[in-house]
């Protein structure tokens, strides 16, 4: 069992408990899970995302790096990794670090500027 942190398209953080890897699919709301590793607040975390997120109609950016390229879209689940490479729980400090790493970003559509939203700053 692992205590993880989800950042959803509603721009809210929610703690989630994962008992088996398949629980990630439900937490993210997808059919295919992809793993990426990014630096958030000075520490590397595993971030699980919807592998098909960019293929969906109107994907919502939920994480960017400092150059605002290589965005992540859809719900994100943050985790640590144990010595064997398996999903591991986040500490209270990790959760505070991730929550403190949100930034405001502008959003656009083919018609132009849409507004401002929140995303997690996750560097490569």
Domain ranges (residues) in the chain? 2-121
77-121, pLDDT tens digit by residue? 999 999 999 999 999 999 999 999 988 777 666 666 566 677 888
pLDDT at 10 over 80: yes
Angle at 116 between CA 112 and CA 120, to 5 degrees: 120
Q: In whole angstroms, give the CA distance from residue 50 to residue 31.
A: 7
pLDDT level of residue 54 (50, 70, 90 thresholds): confident
- What sign has the CA pseudo-torsion 10, 29, 52, 55? negative
- What sign has the CA pseudo-torsion 8, 87, 51, 61? positive
């Amino acid at each position: 069992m692992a205590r993880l942190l989800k950042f959803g398209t509603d721009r809210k953080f929610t703690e989630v408990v994962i008992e088996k890897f398949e629980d990630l699919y439900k937490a993210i709301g997808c059919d295919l899970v992809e793993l990426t590793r990014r630096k958030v607040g000075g520490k590397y975390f595993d971030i699980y995302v919807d592998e098909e997120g960019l293929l969906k109609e109107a994907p919502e950016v939920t994480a960017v790096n400092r150059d605002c390229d290589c965005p992540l879209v859809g719900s994100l689940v943050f985790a640590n990794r144990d010595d064997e490479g398996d999903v591991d729980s986040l500490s209270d400090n990790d959760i505070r670090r991730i929550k403190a790493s949100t930034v405001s970003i502008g959003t656009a559509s083919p018609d132009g500027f849409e507004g401002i939203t929140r995303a997690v700053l996750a560097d490569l």
